[in-house]
Amino acid sequence: MPQKKSYLMPTPRSIFPSKKQPRRFGRAAIIAPALLVLAACASAGTTTAHEQPAFIPAASISGNYLSGMHANARGDIPRAIDYFQTIAKQRPDDVYLWKLLYVLNLSGGDMNQATAFARLLLKNHINVAYEAYLVPVDDLVKGRMKQADAILSGLPSQGLHMYLRPLIRAWIKVASKDYDGALKALRPLSKKKDIQPLYAMHEGMIQALWGHQDKAEKLLEQANNGEDGPSYRTTIILGNLYERAGKPNQARRVYQNYITQSRSGYLLDDAMARLKSGRKPAPAIRNATDGLAEGLFGIASSLRRDHVNEPALDFARMALVARPHFPAAQILLADIYEQEGQIQAANAVYRQIDPASAFAWDAKLRMADNLNALGQIKNALKLLEAQAKAYPDRPAPLIQMGDILRHAGRFSEAVNAYDRAFARIKNPDERSWSLYYARGVALEQAKQWPRAEADLLKALSLNPNQPNVLNYLGYSWMEQGEHLDRALEMVRQAVLLRPRDGYIVDSLGWGLYRIGHYAEAVREMERAVLLVPEDPVINDHLGDVYWQVGRRQEARFQWNHALFFGADAALKKSIENKLKNGLPPHKVPRNATPKLSPKSSSKTDAPGDVKPEAPSI
């Protein structure tokens, strides 16, 4: 289960007394009533997805603060808000609390409260960052265009603000049907070469709402043919424009271009099916708030790609204020939560995604991963089985099911899931190496070595320089005393490819030990323990090697370390026997050859395995 981080909260230093208090504001008489109203509203309106015990505040400010931080760290945002609201009633003029409660309400999805705190910060001229944009967004959604524009005028114009202000102001003008004013407001973005696709996309959407079809098509084509290739959202908007104009061939070209260039081409399955049926879709961009949501979503996506998660969360939430049922923004928001360890919050967002959306598929698969991380394996498998049944041609849910079962040690069940996945793959190609590898591992653990060896060899033929495959097959051969020359060379190659992977270095050390090269094995095993100091198997291996070179006290120390670090039942029994009786002299396999001596390891790190990513949107 991933470690949960404390969610992006500022530190309210003024909660605790200190010799030097931060500057406080003399307008407490004005501010305090407003904050007390907010506190009362939040206490009355906060709900959770599950029943919680009745809230009992701590007896002191420091107690409530620590309890709130603890609740936040374990992902219980509503309870964290309860504790900090309790402090806010006693410290109603505390700026840090306002910012903290803004962040908590934002991350917890209570946008009414988050907006109220953002307004409070602005009203009292507190130095705010991007949270201030929530106020004009809220005003625009509620039809208060003049107020939105006035607030926007008072915000900074440097950094990211130089993109935000023209973008939001343009959509304020569109909401007022001032299309000329909208294009004028957007024009500063046209001078920035690095964001030409963004500028063309938004001008294109404005022209479409204005009824200028030809101009809209030209601009959106320009936006969709930038250096980075077509984006999902621009593809959807442009294709939709063509479909609604009765131009199915142009729409098909746009969709096919994305499918060809993206790994997320399946997101357009519904659009392609609709083209085939001849049905006309609803507009992709219906009004100013939809256009604003696209802009906020694009900024959030860019920040997320750069791993700047705090403002990315702000803008993803704002996009959903502008357009509440926006699956692409919901997927992005959930992804940010996952990156911050807030997987229950991520799943809450996934559950809100329209089942008819193209993103529902991804949402279900990622929910299953999160359920597994939460220890809810039965629920994860049930969800994946339902997906496998709903999409009988897609192998992904069965592969994911196999991975979950394999990591849970249910190897025979994992093999069955992988077998079912392979039955859905008509022509396995080089991309299938990882599935052969995963099934090979499960088969080996399930004591089905002939099938396991065949799968691992197939994976190696498809991806000859894959370090995990080289290591696993080589290590397995060494354990069985087979093909020792080739096995050791394979593991040595894996170490060259990934010199900082302690498990692969351990395989090399263990291989050297197996053929009796004890001194060289010590060097590699000591390096493995430095790389992965808390692994019980690696510590056990180092203990065995120490014993064979006569370092008996150090051997016992490593064996005890292995016990301390959680050796499983079988390893524990073996170690306890070694601690009691020591090890007999090691027998070198007859087919081990003395010509094998370790080569110098590369000092260049190789990139790790490619991890599953969110759909490219």
pLDDT tens digit sequence for 431-440: 999 999 999 9
Residue 13 tokens, joined: 């230093």
Over residues 183-211, the mean pLDDT reads 92
Report, as an integer, the average pLDDT of 273-286.
95
Residue 542: give its domain's CATH number: 1.25.40.10
Q: Which residue has the tokens 């504001």?
A: 25
Q: Is residue 355 part of a domain?
A: no
Percentage above 70 pLDDT, the chain: 87
- How far is residue 559's CA from residue 548's CA, in Å, rounded to a whole number? 14
> Residue 508: which pLDDT band, with cuts at 50, 70 and 90?
very high
Q: What is the pLDDT of residues 510-527, one digit of tens each?
A: 999 988 899 999 999 999
Structure tokens that stand for 477 in this block:
């051969």
596 is a domain residue: no
Residues 241 and 309 in one domain: yes
Greater confidence (101 vs 540) lies with 540
pLDDT digits (tens, 9 = 90+) for 566-606: 999 999 999 999 999 999 988 877 665 544 333 323 222 33
Contact 616, 232 (CB under 8 A): yes
Mean pLDDT, the chain, integer: 85
Residues contacting residue 490 through CB under 8 Å, at least 6 positions apart = 470, 471, 473, 474, 477
Give residue-wise pLDDT tens across range 372-410.
999 999 999 999 999 999 999 999 999 999 999 999 999
What is the rounded distance in angstroms from the CA atom of residue 363 to the CA atom of residue 331?
A: 7
The verdict on 179 and 315 lying in the same domain is yes
The burial class, CB within 10 Å (0-12 / 13-18 / 19+), for 374 is: middle
pLDDT above 90 for 206:
yes
Q: Is residue 138 part of a domain?
A: no
Are both 252 and 195 inside the same structural domain?
A: yes
Span 292-344, pLDDT tens digits? 999 999 999 999 999 999 889 999 999 999 999 999 999 999 999 999 888 98
Q: Where are the alpha helices (DSSP H) in 144-231?
A: 145-153, 161-175, 179-186, 196-210, 213-224
In terms of domains, do 206 and 311 share one?
yes
More confident residue, 215 or 93: 215
Nearest-angstrom CA–CA distance, 306 and 533? 31
386 in the same domain as 331: no
Q: Which residue from 259, 248, 198 is spatially nearest to 224, judged by alpha carbons?
A: 198
Which CATH number covers residue 240? 1.25.40
Tokens of 458: 């197939």
605 domain-assigned: no
Last residue of a domain, one of 397, 432, 462: 462
Average pLDDT over residues 437-451: 97
Please indicate, yes or no, whether residues 338 and 380 belong to a single structural domain of this protein.
Answer: no
Give yes or no: residues 329 and 380 share one domain. no
Pair 195, 323 in one domain: yes
Assess if residue 229 is contained within a domain.
Answer: yes
- Let me know whether 177 and 319 are in one domain: yes
Do 313 and 391 lie in one domain? The reply is: no
| Total count of domains within the chain | 4
Please say whether the beta carbons of 386 and 378 come within 8 A.
no
Q: Indicate the pTM of the whole model.
A: 0.79
225 in the same domain as 183: yes
pLDDT of residue 591: 62
Give phi and psi for 42, each to the nearest 5.
-65, -40
Whole-number pLDDT of residue 614? 53
Angle, to 10 degrees, between the axis of helix 502-514 and the axis of helix 467-480?
Answer: 30
Task: Return d(Cα 77, Cα 147) in angstroms, integer.
Answer: 31
Domain limits for position 106: 1-17+24-128
Residue 389 lies in a domain: yes
CA atoms within 13 A on the CB side of 211: 1
What is d(CA 339, CA 309) in angstroms, rounded to the nearest whole number? 8
Report if residue 319 sits inside a domain: yes
Expressed in angstroms, the distance from the first to the final Cα of the chain is: 27
Residue 371 in any domain: the answer is: no
| 96 and 171 in a common domain | no
| Radius of gyration of the chain measured on its C-alpha atoms | 30
What is the predicted pLDDT for the residue at 64? 79
561 Cβ contact partners less than 8 Å away, ≥ 6 residues apart: 536, 539, 543
Q: Is 275 helix (H, G, I), strand (E, B) or coil?
A: helix
